[in-house]
Amino acid sequence: EFAVLLRGCDLADAKRVGEAIASDICAIPIQLAGRPHVVSASIGIVSLSPGMDADTALVSADAACYAAKNTGRSRIVVGE
């Protein structure tokens, strides 16, 4: 897992960035034991609201990421 902080970016822009990252990850050719495998990316996105601290934002993003994982592969979920 990793976090990407996008300064001056609204949720729509952040979702586009997430889609581009997921697309790039899925395009990486992976070979295991001589067989091709597809890598997927589940992404949780949150917007830092006034008064929200970094810990709260990370917990919210993590929850959104798990929601994306639980609804299928290669999904993006915008959290609260």
Q: Which helix (H) or strand (E) holds 31?
A: strand 30-32
Residue 74 has what pLDDT?
83
Neighbours of 54 (CB within 10 A): 10
The Cα–Cα gap between 27 and 21 comes to 10
pTM listed for this prediction: 0.81
Cβ atoms of 4 and 17 closer than 8 Å: yes
Cβ atoms of 2 and 18 closer than 8 Å: no
Spans of all domains in the chain: 11-78
Task: For the chain, list residues with pLDDT below 70.
Answer: none
Helix (H, G, I), strand (E, B), or coil: what is residue 46?
A: coil
Residue 24 has what pLDDT?
93
Residue 5 has what pLDDT?
87
